Structure 1
Amino acid sequence: MARVKTDERIAVAMAELLRRQGYAATGIKQVVEAADAPIGSIYHHFAGGKRDVAAAALRQSGAAYGELVGMLLAPYDDPAEGIEAAFVAAAETIEQGGWLNMCPVGTVAGEIADAEPALREVAAEVMSSWIDAGTALFAARGLAPADARSLMSAVVSALEGAFIVARTQRSTGPLLAAGRAMGSYARALGAQVGSGANSESGEVLR
């Protein structure tokens, strides 16, 4: 089996620590111990130290989460069904995981939005990539591009917010409720397409 490169191990370890405890509480010593790497390797691979490791971790974990969401949505021709199924899966996962935080990107973004502008930009870049991918998928399912982007923006926002409420209340209810709400929104947008309404102009296509 191929050995995982040191820089990749460090980024994976950082992502898990960020997910569990956030940016401020995570120290370089914890990262190298979790990655089973010498402390000198941090600065060999990441010249900017902790901030650069965190940026790499956010990009790497963000790509993985984006692929996961895409895999959950892709089997469904109906966007509403796919969205509701994705939120149900998220609810089951967070409950089975003992209510641990699901997403390091959202955790770090909420913590450092003002204190670490560079990391905020990385988190924004990752979230934008999720929205771009979801927009393409929903557009392929028949939604107008503007509606597809609005829907995916709402889905990302609802999912990240529902994670926080679910963890706080120790309940899957917030995720399931958010999933139903996003499903209803998707159905409303789909109904506009079916009726020939142009959501950008408010006119009926002829």
Structure 2
Amino acid sequence: MGDTKERIVSAGATLFRRQGYTGTGVKQIVAEAKAPFGSLYHFFPGGKEQLGEEVVRWSGALYGRLVDAVFDPAPDVVTALENAFAGAAETLVDTDYADACPIATIALEVASSNETLRQATADVFESWIAAIADRLAAAGIPADRARDLAVATLSALEGAFILCRATRSTTPLAQAGAMVVDAVRRALP
């Protein structure tokens, strides 16, 4: 990705995560990216929707790498999940509850109004579910159960993000994490 295009995508990702898709204007994105206004339409002839789709897929891949970053150093899947929920809580506190999941922020806004962005968010969530399920299956959990637990894990994490931001407390993440860890622990051979 070229430097200007990359700056636009990165700025879009930051602004969409914090302000939402509809709350962010294209002028604001190019200003944040320190790019000429015309460059947005040069790189994204489909305008904001095309940029939004690329931001979702780019952010999704970036955040998807967190699965490896959390699971690889952990001695087991239970510890990895404990670390994931604790790390998410730490990020929320460190960012004054501004930085949660960039994909969920957009998905909540557009799921019933923009098919292109809905599909992009669904694809990203599916890739994350598959990555978590693979890790759980590798730990000995049967594939069907691993997938169910991966869906539950992501659902618990995303739901907890919303509750944490609304209540300005990390308690929902701690509670959701404890439930997920318990379920995974019970599913292990």
Normalised-by-shorter TM-score class: over 0.9
Cross-structure match for 2:14: 16
Q: Tell me the number of residue pairs that the alignment of Structure 1 and Structure 2 aligns.
A: 189
Please point out which of 154, 165, 177 is paired with 2:152. Answer: 154
Question: How far is the alpha carbon of 1:164 from its aligned partner?
Answer: 0.5
Give secondary structure in 1 for the equivalent of 2:21: coil
1-structure distance, mates of 2:73, 2:149 = 18
Aligned residues of 2:91 and 2:99 also touching (Cα < 8 A) = no
Give secondary structure in 2 for the equivalent of 1:47: coil
1-structure distance, mates of 2:67, 2:137 = 16
Which structure 1 residue ranges, 4+ long, deviate > 6 Å from structure 2? Answer: none
For residues 2-81 of structure 1, the aligned pairs below 5 Å read 5-81=3-79
Is 1:83 equivalent to 2:60 in the alignment?
A: no
Q: Structure 1 length normalisation: TM-score?
A: 0.88
Aligned residues of 1:101 and 1:163 also touching (Cα < 8 A) = no
Question: How far is the alpha carbon of 1:50 from its aligned partner?
Answer: 0.2
Question: How far is the alpha carbon of 1:4 from its aligned partner?
Answer: 5.9
Q: Structure 2 length normalisation: TM-score?
A: 0.96
Question: Percent of aligned pairs with the same residue?
Answer: 44
Please point out which of 185, 188, 200 is paired with 2:186. Answer: 188
Aligned residues of 1:80 and 1:182 also touching (Cα < 8 A) = no
5+ long unaligned stretches in structure 1:
195-206
Q: CA RMSD in A?
A: 1.4
Which residue type is aligned with residue 10 of structure 1? I
Listed one character per residue, the Cα deviations across residues 85-127 of structure 1 (whole Å, up to 9, x for unaligned) are 1101111110111011311100010111111111000000001
Aligned residues of 2:41 and 2:47 also touching (Cα < 8 A) = yes
Cross-structure match for 2:99: 101
Which residue type is aligned with residue 132 of structure 1? A
Aligned residues of 1:70 and 1:134 also touching (Cα < 8 A) = no
